[in-house]
Copies of this chain bind each other. A is one copy, B any other.
Amino acid sequence: MIKKVLVANRGEIAIRVMRSCREMDIRSVAVFSDADRSSMHVRYADEAYHIGPSPSAESYLVIDKIIEVAKKSGADAIHPGYGFLSENAEFSDRCKAEGIVFIGPDSHAINTMGDKITSRKKMIAADVPVVPGTTDPIIDEDEAIKTINEMGLPVMIKASAGGGGKGMRLVKKESEILSSIRAARSEALNSFGNDAVYIEKYIDSPHHIEFQILADNHGNAVHLFERECSVQRRHQKVVEETPSPIMTPEVREEMGKHAVAAAQAVNYSGAGTIEFITDNDLNYYFLEMNTRLQVEHPITERVVGVDLVKQQINIANNEVLKLKQDELQQKGHAIECRIYAEDAENNFMPSPGVIKHMSEPLGLGIRHDGYVYEGFEIPIFYDPMISKLIAWAETREEAIERMRRALYNYKITGIKTSMKFLERIMETPDFVNGQYNTHFVEDNMEFLMAKPDYEGDNEDMAIITAFINYTDKLDKMQPEPMKKNMAKNWKDFGRKRSILRL
């Protein structure tokens, strides 16, 4: 039985994991870099250990340091969160070798799913649909041209070892084929030290739809339905929702079965996500598997009513999965907005800094997972995501209205955030109508960046407030004798405070 969990992460996900640990009466151990001494996850944990300098390569990514803390603290398990070491096969193996439970899959599953070509082959063998294309890395240029011509344009050339858009080229015209292959291979070599590429049919107007799965160590696996994650900017998800507005019950059931088959093909254990690329006609193809908890897992938790971190811990405890596929159901609709410390009006440039003031939105149907607090300085070293706002309602329409309400009252000052941008997304007709794909942000940029007209006198009120605040400050700076018309009670107030009231 797991009694103490080291959370090898920071930020909101570290706190989210610790919350479930506390509910399970499991003690939590935090690790922190130089930049994170004052971070909330350190304050929240039962124990906290310093693991090195601020850059994650010297702290959160150093397997030896994490293992050392686990041993020193007597943690019997490690939860990797997302990012950092969460999809590192070596780390999973190392934990096992050290007798520490890794809350996640084994290295076989991570490695298989981590390589695009290997996972593609596995999926084909498991009858999971994949994007039409090559399964073997292509070195020979003539062969590549032949394959592309057979497949028909447009196609995507992708680095076998790739990710994050690097070593990727879209080919629409025949004349671009050769130059694109060469560019992709050279970029792949530079980025990943491996110039193997493969070719895939390019899906126009694609949707990013993913399925949450849970699998135990006893051969049981279920899916917890889909998440629609097509609202992206710079290949990063911004808004997710479940159910997907384009999904049908028939396709959902079929996709869910394929998602479970995909997980079982690698003897998966724990929580994982199968990503599908889906076109407007609901043709879907396996894209990749994320062998960890996703940022957007809360929308599934809300609609299905399951605590995914607790499920992960139970599975790591070798327990048998209690969830049965035919008992699971989606109730209502949930939307997540990711709040980034960034300047949406200035090409989404990160905006680290000190949080001056916060008002968090609360009330019916709102979940808020964050980690910053007033006076906290957001470090420059890590991801700019500072919180996640999750709205649930009976219907999609109501969930959007609730999200708008919550964003309207959510305030974080001192830094720039993406909140206004998210508010605009909630008002964008394509989003409101549920008719959007991964081109959404691009296609709607003009609407998203336009400033709505508000009635009332916001600008004059802003001017007046700044004016009053400034003149009041000036007044306070005047030496005592220069102040005229001081009300008596203000004097008394000052006198009262002078008795060592610092």
The answer on a CB contact under 8 Å between B363 and A16 is: yes
| CA gap between A364 and B310 in the complex, in Å | 11
Min C-beta distance of A390 to chain B, whole Å: 9
Chain B residues lying within 8 Å of A24, measured Cβ to Cβ, are 401
- For chain A, the bracket of interface size reads 35 or more
Partner of A393, one of B307, B360, B373, B401: B307
| CA gap between A373 and B359 in the complex, in Å | 9
Min C-beta distance of A175 to chain B, whole Å: 53
Given the known inter-chain contacts A363-B369, A366-B367, A367-B362, please indicate yes or no for A23 contacting B307, CB distance below 8 A. Answer: no
Chain B residue, CB-CB nearest to A307: B364
Partner of A23, one of B23, B301, B331, B402: B402
Asked if A434 lies at the interface with its beta carbon under 8 angstroms from chain B, I say no
Asked if A368 lies at the interface with its beta carbon under 8 angstroms from chain B, I say yes
The answer on a CB contact under 8 Å between B369 and A19 is: no
Chain B residues lying within 8 Å of A359, measured Cβ to Cβ, are 373
Chain B residues lying within 8 Å of A44, measured Cβ to Cβ, are 409
Chain B residues lying within 8 Å of A405, measured Cβ to Cβ, are 19, 22-23
Partner of A502, one of B331, B362, B477: B477
Asked if A167 lies at the interface with its beta carbon under 8 angstroms from chain B, I say no
Q: Which chain A residues have a beta carbon within 8 Å of chain B's beta carbons?
A: 15-16, 19-20, 22-25, 44, 298, 301, 305-307, 331-332, 359-360, 362-370, 373, 393-394, 398, 401-402, 404-405, 408-409, 473, 476-477, 500, 502
24 sample A-B contacts, Cβ–Cβ < 8 Å, listed by A number: A15-B363, A16-B363, A16-B364, A19-B364, A19-B405, A20-B364, A23-B398, A23-B401, A23-B404, A25-B401, A306-B394, A307-B364, A307-B365, A307-B393, A307-B394, A359-B373, A360-B360, A360-B362, A362-B367, A362-B369, A362-B370, A364-B369, A476-B502, A477-B500
